Amino acid sequence: MIDRPVLRLVSIDLNSVVELRTIAQVFEFAADYLGLLRAGIIASGLCPGMEGLMYNRGSLCSNDSAGCGLELITHVRGIRKVSPRRVDTLLASIITVCMRDTAQITS
């Protein structure tokens, strides 16, 4: 949790950081190198799916409460960037962490 009403995605190995403020920004997969993190956020249920995008283009977090933001940091070492194993493992890890954080799963 962070003290700003944003969803901050950080990739240490890609040296990339982005702060998402709206639901529409989550779906901008080609905007930067963090498309896989965005996909994990959506797949975990942390952000409304495509059907929600049509009706709700508002902000991800409420601006009236401190500490409501979320930061997701990834750091992948020892696996080539083009490796399918890297993609599968990272996406599964993102989904699992987000689902645990939102109490959708317990283990």
Rounded mean pLDDT of the chain?
Answer: 78
Rounded to a whole number of angstroms, the CA Rg of the chain reads 14
- Taking residues 38-42, what's their average pLDDT? 90
What residues does each domain of the chain span? 7-101
Q: What are the tens digits of pLDDT across the range 75-93? A: 877 666 666 777 788 888 8
Choose among 42, 44, 98: nearest CA to 73: 98
Residues whose CB is less than 8 angstroms from the CB of residue 39 and which lie 6 or more positions away in sequence, other chains included: 29, 91
pTM to 2 decimal places: 0.75
Q: What are the tens digits of pLDDT across the range 42-64? A: 888 887 665 544 444 455 565 55
**Length of the chain in terms of residues written:** 107
| Separation between Cα atoms, residue 83 and residue 60, nearest integer Å | 32
* Percent of the chain residues topping a pLDDT of 90: 10
Cβ-contact 44, 102 below 8 angstroms: yes
For residue 10, pLDDT over 90 is answered with: yes
